[in-house]
Structure 1
Amino acid sequence: MRVLGIEGTAWAASAAYFDTETGDVFIDSDPYQPESGGIHPREAAEHMAGALPTVIERALSEADSVDAVAFSRGPGLGPCLRIVASAARALAQSLDVPLVGANHMVAHLEIGRHRSGFSNPVCLNASGANAHVLGYHNGRYQVLGETMDTGVGNALDKFARHLEWSHPGGPKIEERARGGEYIDLPYVVKGMDFSFSGIMSAAKDAVDSSERIEDVCFSLQETVFAMLAEVSERALSLTGSDELVLGGGVGQNARLREMLAEMCEARGASFYAPEPRFLRDNAGMIAVLGATMADAGDILEIDESRVDSNFRPDQVDVTWRGAESVSRPMNEEHEVIGAEAVVELDEDVRKRRRPKTYRHPALDARLRRERTASEARLTSLARRAGVPTPAIRDIDLREGTLVFEHVGEADLSADLTPERVRELGRHLATLHDAGVVHGDPTPRNARVSDRRLYCIDFGLGYHTDEIEDYAMDLHVFERSLAGTAADFEACVGAFEAGYCEVGDRAVIDQLRAIEGRGRYR
Structure 2
Amino acid sequence: MRVLGIEGTAWCASAALYDAEADSVLIESDPYEPDSGGIHPREAAEHMSEAIPEVVDSVLTAAEERHGPDAVDAVAFSRGPGLGPCLRIVGTAARSLAGTLGVPLVGVNHMVAHLEIGRHRSGFDNPICLNASGANAHLLGYHDGRYRVLGETMDAGVGNAIDKFTRHVGWSHPGGPKVESAAAEFATGAGEVGSEGEGTGGEEGSAAETDLLDLPYVVKGMDFSFSGISSAANDAADSGVPVEEICFSLQEHVFAMLTEVSERALSLTGADELVLGGGVAQNDRLREMLATMCEARGADFHAPEPRFLRDNAGMIAVLGAKMAAAGDTVPISESAVDPSFRPDQVPVTWRDGESVARGRGGAESRSAARDAEADRRGAEATVTVEGTDGDRRVVKRRVPKSYRHPELDRTIRRDRTVAEARLTSEARRAGVSTPLVYDVDLAEATLTLQHVGERDLAAALDEGTAEAVGRHLARLHGAEMVHGDPTTRNVRVSKRGERTERDGRSSPPPETYLIDFGLGYHTGHVEDHAMDLHVFEGSVRATATEPGPLLAAFESGYEAVGDEAVLDRLRDVADRGRYR
State whether TM-score is above 0.5: yes
Q: CA deviation at 1:323?
A: 5.0
Distance 1:334 1:251 in 2: 31
Q: CA deviation at 1:408?
A: 0.5
Q: Which residue of structure 2 lines up, in the alignment, with residue 353 of structure 1?
A: 398
Alignment of 1:243-282 (within 5 A): 243-282=273-312
Q: 1:427 aligns with which of 450, 472, 477?
A: 472
Distance 1:30 1:238 in 2: 40
Distance 2:84 2:546 in 1: 35
Distance 1:164 1:282 in 2: 27
**Which has the larger displacement, 334-343 or 271-280?**
334-343
Q: 2:554 aligns with which of 495, 509, 513?
A: 495
Q: CA deviation at 1:168?
A: 0.1
- Residues 1:208 and 2:238 are matched in the alignment: yes
Q: Which residue of structure 2 lines up, in the alignment, with residue 340 of structure 1?
A: 380
Q: 1:467 aligns with which of 501, 526, 534?
A: 526
- Residues 1:514 and 2:566 are matched in the alignment: no
- Residues 1:485 and 2:515 are matched in the alignment: no
Q: CA deviation at 1:324?
A: 1.6
Cα deviation digits, residues 238-274 of structure 1 (max 9, x gap): 0000000000000000000000000000000000000
Distance 2:267 2:373 in 1: 16
Q: Which residue of structure 2 lines up, in the alignment, with residue 368 of structure 1?
A: 413
Cα deviation digits, residues 93-137 of structure 1 (max 9, x gap): 000000000000000000000000000000000000010011111
Q: Which residue of structure 1 lines up, in the alignment, with residue 205 of structure 2?
A: none
Q: CA deviation at 1:486?
A: 2.0
Q: 2:458 aligns with which of 413, 434, 443?
A: 413
Call closer, same or farther: CA 1:20–1:369 in 2, change over 3 Å. same
Q: CA deviation at 1:62?
A: 2.7
Matched position secondary structure for 2:3: strand
Q: Which residue of structure 2 lines up, in the alignment, with residue 191 of structure 1?
A: 221
Q: Which residue of structure 2 lines up, in the alignment, with residue 380 of structure 1?
A: 425
Q: 2:138 aligns with which of 99, 114, 132?
A: 132
**Which has the larger displacement, 205-214 or 234-243?**
205-214
Q: Which residue of structure 2 lines up, in the alignment, with residue 8 of structure 1?
A: 8
**Which has the larger displacement, 199-208 or 78-87?**
199-208
Cα deviation digits, residues 358-401 of structure 1 (max 9, x gap): 00000000000000000000000111011111111111011100
Cα deviation digits, residues 51-91 of structure 1 (max 9, x gap): 00110011112322111000000000000000000000000
Distance 1:48 1:454 in 2: 55
- Residues 1:67 and 2:126 are matched in the alignment: no
Matched position secondary structure for 1:145: strand
Distance 2:536 2:404 in 1: 26
Contact 1:179 1:215 in 2 (8 A): no
- Residues 1:101 and 2:131 are matched in the alignment: no
- Residues 1:156 and 2:176 are matched in the alignment: no
Letter in 2 for 1:157: D
Letter in 1 for 2:283: N
Cα deviation digits, residues 148-191 of structure 1 (max 9, x gap): 11000011111000110010000000000013252221111111
Letter in 1 for 2:419: S
Q: Which residue of structure 1 lines up, in the alignment, with residue 441 of structure 2?
A: 396
Distance 1:463 1:361 in 2: 27
Matched position secondary structure for 1:39: coil
Q: CA deviation at 1:322?
A: 2.3
Distance 2:154 2:525 in 1: 17
Q: 1:176 aligns with which of 161, 182, 189?
A: 182
Distance 1:344 1:122 in 2: 27
Cα deviation digits, residues 314-369 of structure 1 (max 9, x gap): 11111112252000114483671110001112321110000000000000000000
TM-score (norm 1): 0.99
Distance 2:537 2:405 in 1: 31
Q: CA deviation at 1:517?
A: 1.3
- Residues 1:441 and 2:479 are matched in the alignment: no
**Which has the larger displacement, 506-515 or 332-341?**
332-341
Distance 1:262 1:155 in 2: 24
Q: 1:237 aligns with which of 248, 252, 267?
A: 267
Q: CA deviation at 1:29?
A: 0.2
- Residues 1:328 and 2:358 are matched in the alignment: yes
Distance 2:579 2:229 in 1: 22
Q: Which residue of structure 1 lines up, in the alignment, with residue 197 of structure 2?
A: none
Q: Which residue of structure 2 lines up, in the alignment, with residue 292 of structure 1?
A: 322
Letter in 1 for 2:483: H
Distance 2:214 2:116 in 1: 36
Distance 1:61 1:262 in 2: 43
Q: Which residue of structure 2 lines up, in the alignment, with residue 20 of structure 1?
A: 20
Contact 1:249 1:279 in 2 (8 A): yes
Contact 1:138 1:323 in 2 (8 A): no
Matched position secondary structure for 1:228: helix
Letter in 2 for 1:432: H
Distance 2:324 2:102 in 1: 14
**Structure 2: where are the runs of 5+ without partners?**
187-209, 360-366, 387-391, 497-509
Distance 1:99 1:200 in 2: 40
Q: Which residue of structure 1 lines up, in the alignment, with residue 31 of structure 2?
A: 31
Matched position secondary structure for 1:318: coil
Q: Which residue of structure 1 lines up, in the alignment, with residue 153 of structure 2?
A: 147
Distance 1:426 1:139 in 2: 31
Alpha-carbon RMSD across the aligned residues, in angstroms, is: 1.0
Percent sequence identity over matched residues?
Answer: 69
Contact 1:334 1:344 in 2 (8 A): no
Q: Which residue of structure 2 lines up, in the alignment, with residue 306 of structure 1?
A: 336
Distance 2:39 2:76 in 1: 25
Size of the aligned set, in residue pairs, is 521
Q: 1:219 aligns with which of 245, 249, 258?
A: 249
Letter in 2 for 1:68: A
Distance 2:144 2:533 in 1: 21
Q: Which residue of structure 2 lines up, in the alignment, with residue 283 of structure 1?
A: 313
Distance 1:417 1:320 in 2: 31
Contact 1:334 1:345 in 2 (8 A): no
Distance 1:314 1:435 in 2: 33
Q: CA deviation at 1:436?
A: 0.8
Distance 1:365 1:79 in 2: 47
TM-score (norm 2): 0.89
Cα deviation digits, residues 296-323 of structure 1 (max 9, x gap): 1110001100000010001111111225
Distance 1:16 1:385 in 2: 60
